[in-house]
Amino acid sequence: MLWLNGNFLNENDAHISVSDRGFLLGDGVFETMRATNGHVGWLSFHLQRISQSIDVLGGFPVKIPDEATLAKVISTLCQGFEKRHAVIRLTVSRGQGGQGLLATGASGSTVLITAKPIDLDVGCGPLELAISKQVRRNPWSVASRMKSLNYLDNIVARNEAADAGAEDCLILTQDGHVGETTIANVFAMLKGRLYTAPKESGIFAGLSRACVIDWAQSNHISLCYDPVTIEHLKTTDCVFVCNALRGVRVVSSVGDYMLNQTQSGLKLITKLSQHLENSIGR
């Protein structure tokens, strides 16, 4: 079952117009959320972010359910799931019409909400990352600041990872520094300081990234946004990724390089992981 433009429907009964700009041009945005027992802990943050993304696209009339209504929709979609956790996706397109790229005249925005059960115990071990040879983060890209329906860069990089036998792919910044993966932000602990790429580098600064930064500041851990190279990663105490779906995962290798995981680094990851889990699942 899914929710489409105000109605609960079976998947086979749901239809989207062939003139929908999200389908034709990727003219829209989405949010991926984790529900625990039918409840999304960061729901208000996700709603705020998708609204900001719509504003970046120039704004368009769309009836996204308010937070209370959306919470009820998500709870209903999760009913009957045997798994405790579910992946919730809220997808919004500008709608139908418009002359080519120009959106003037477009109407009938599409709002789709889906829920799929997920086992977070699968794929929770150390993460092996390939390094993308085809994709770099572009600090001038509008799409880098949101989850747009045109996700081709991430798709290409993820295919590179699969071809290399890795689970995900590290995408470098335009200057060749560590950026992010296709689905997560990257942090590295080095000499007591926590490093991550700045927003200005073209990465997508996720909600979990903000949570990690807040936690680090409250625990008096120094944060640094200076550029980090692949060579730097070889000497770190730990490297980890985070997103709002799976929380924190330690990185065991990047390309051909095996990474350090010192006791102090693993201790940090354990504490941070517990904090993030409590925050996401509350």
pLDDT number for residue 160: 98
pLDDT number for residue 105: 81
Spans of the chain below 70 pLDDT: 282
CB-based contact 129:169 (threshold 8 Å)? yes
pLDDT number for residue 282: 54
Query: Model-level pTM?
Result: 0.95
Residue 240, number of CB atoms within 10 A of its CB: 28
